[in-house]
Amino acid sequence: MRRWLLAAVLVCAFIILAAYYYANVSYHLDYLRESEVSANYDASVGRNVLISGEVVATGAQSFELKGEHGTYTILSSAAVQRGDGVTVVGTLEPGHQLRAATMYASSALLSALVYIRSFIALIFVSVLFFARWRFDRRGWVIRPRKPGSQERDGA
Amino acid sequence: MGNKATETGLTRAGRCVTVDWMAHVAFVFIVCALLALKWPMFGGRNTVLVMIGALLPDIFKLYLPLRLIWANAGDALMLFHIPAGTLLVCGLCALLFEAGMRKRVFLLFAFGMMMHYALDVLLISVTGGLMLLYPLSWETWTLNLIRPNNWLGTTILVGAAALVWCVLRVWNRAGREIADERTEDA
């Protein structure tokens, strides 16, 4: 009973902190996000904004970045390729243009490799966990597979 | 400005930068293997608890599949990747374990969580880095040392983890043989 009460308290605390974050985060950022830009583009012109998306076209001094709410022309001489994932912070200009201040570009292959490596790690940790711990459905608790080996763990 | 920008890096999901899970797991393994030489509680079956603790902050990455149905889940889930929120999750997960070991499991999860942020804070970030003190402060921190999506860093960590594992196996086998010889002599 005490366990479920404690769990409920922790869940409530988490929800309160998450809600406070969700409600206030935009006031504490030193840039606007794409959703805020798309909600009121004209008011965002001249301000710092952050856009993430995929490169859909490249040019000599600019490239086209497709975000969640639209496509932006990024004024930058950075070498990017079509399909790259790009996050850029810069000054918003009229006509869906953004003058880049700082930027990160990552190829689709590198991004995919991150997910593949992470998936392999997840499988590894899952196998390791269930080799040493088991879930007891009757008590809804996780127990060691070999209770006698506690002294090895310093317990 | 553009050329300089290409030298700057970040991986962004909401406001935070991330390392892949293989690097986190390898880093935890190395640290726990070394700590277990002095404090056995970091070894054996407890190492995997620290590894899980190191992955808990990245529950927020659920925003990636959720993005397909709900665009702004990043902000809603971001608390998972903030130490205060991760600590609450560590507490919840520890409650899943049997009564006598919950405190120890919580501490191991929390240690793994610290390992996670220790790696993440090294990463280069354009947007400011990690919000380590929320809800006390909205300040963000980063050391801007390593590019995210860095396969080389992961390779080095995995290689080091494999080396540590091999050395410890040889070390333990040698120690066991010496102990057996002493028993036979006695």
Q: How far is A84 from chain B (nearest CA, A)?
A: 13
pLDDT tens digit string along A96-138?
Answer: 999 998 888 888 888 888 889 999 999 999 999 999 999 998 8
Would you call B127 an interface residue with chain A, using a CB distance cutoff of 8 Å? Answer: yes
Predicted local confidence at residue B162, as pLDDT: 96
Q: How far apart are CA A22 and CA B79, in angstroms?
A: 9
Residue A143 forms beta bridges with which residues? A134
Residues A17 and A68 in one domain: no
B186 confidence band (pLDDT: 50, 70, 90): low
Predicted local confidence at residue A148, as pLDDT: 57
Position B7 pLDDT exceeds 70:
no
Instruction: Residue B85: list chain A partners with CB under 8 A.
Output: 14, 17-18
> Which amino acid is present at B83?
P
B119 Cβ partners below 8 Å, 6+ apart?
B19, B23, B24, B27
Domain carrying residue A48: 32-106
Indicate the DSSP class of residue B149.
Answer: T
Q: How far apart are CA A118 and CA B149, in angstroms?
A: 11
Residues A26 and A46 in one domain: no
User: Phi-psi region for residue A30, left (φ > 0), alpha (ψ -120 to 50) or beta?
Assistant: alpha
Q: How far apart are CA A46 and CA A65, in angstroms?
A: 19
- Asked whether the beta carbons of residue A7 and residue B24 sit closer than 8 angstroms, the reply is no
Predicted local confidence at residue B66, as pLDDT: 76
Residues A122 and A87 in one domain: no
Q: Which residue has the tokens 């490249």?
A: A58
Residues A68 and A95 in one domain: yes
Residue A141 forms beta bridges with which residues? A136
Residues A36 and A98 in one domain: yes
Predicted local confidence at residue A147, as pLDDT: 67
| Lowest-pLDDT choice from B67-76, B162-171, B173-182 | B67-76
To the nearest 10 degrees (0 to 180), the angle between helices B102-120 and B21-38 is 120
Would you call B33 an interface residue with chain A, using a CB distance cutoff of 8 Å? Answer: no
Predicted local confidence at residue A151, as pLDDT: 44
Reduced to 3 states (helix: H, G, I; strand: E, B; else coil), residue B24 is helix
Residues A59 and A1 in one domain: no
Domain carrying residue B120: 2-185
Number of structural domains (chain A) is 3
Reduced to 3 states (helix: H, G, I; strand: E, B; else coil), residue B92 is helix
Question: What ipTM did this prediction achieve?
Answer: 0.84
Predicted local confidence at residue B101, as pLDDT: 93
For chain B, give the number of residues.
186
Reduced to 3 states (helix: H, G, I; strand: E, B; else coil), residue A32 is strand
Residues A17 and A37 in one domain: no
- Asked whether the beta carbons of residue B15 and residue A121 sit closer than 8 angstroms, the reply is no
What is the pTM for the complete model shown? Answer: 0.85
Query: Are the CB atoms for B46 and B97 separated by under 8 Å?
Result: no
Number of structural domains (chain B) is 1
Q: Peptide bond before B135: cis, by omega within 30 degrees of 0?
A: yes
Q: How far apart are CA B61 and CA A127, in angstroms?
A: 21
Q: Indicate which CATH number applies to the domain containing A101.
A: 2.40.50.140
Average pLDDT over every residue of B123-138: 88
DSSP code string of A41-104? HHHHTTSEEEEEEEEEEE-SSEEEEE-SS-EEEEE------TT-EEEEEEEEETTTEEEEEEEE
Predicted local confidence at residue A108, as pLDDT: 83
Give the residue from B75, B86, B90, B176 with the most A CB atoms within 10 Å of its CB, the best one to mutate: B75
Return the number of other C-beta atoms located less than 10 Å from residue B182's C-beta.
Answer: 9
Q: How far apart are CA B185 and CA A105, in angstroms?
A: 65
Position B36 pLDDT exceeds 80:
yes
Residues A60 and A100 in one domain: yes
Q: Indicate the burial class of B150 (C-beta count within 10 angstroms; 0-12, 13-18, 19 or more).
A: buried
Residues A113 and A60 in one domain: no
Token code pair at residue B60: 């927020």
Nearest CA in chain B to A154: B41
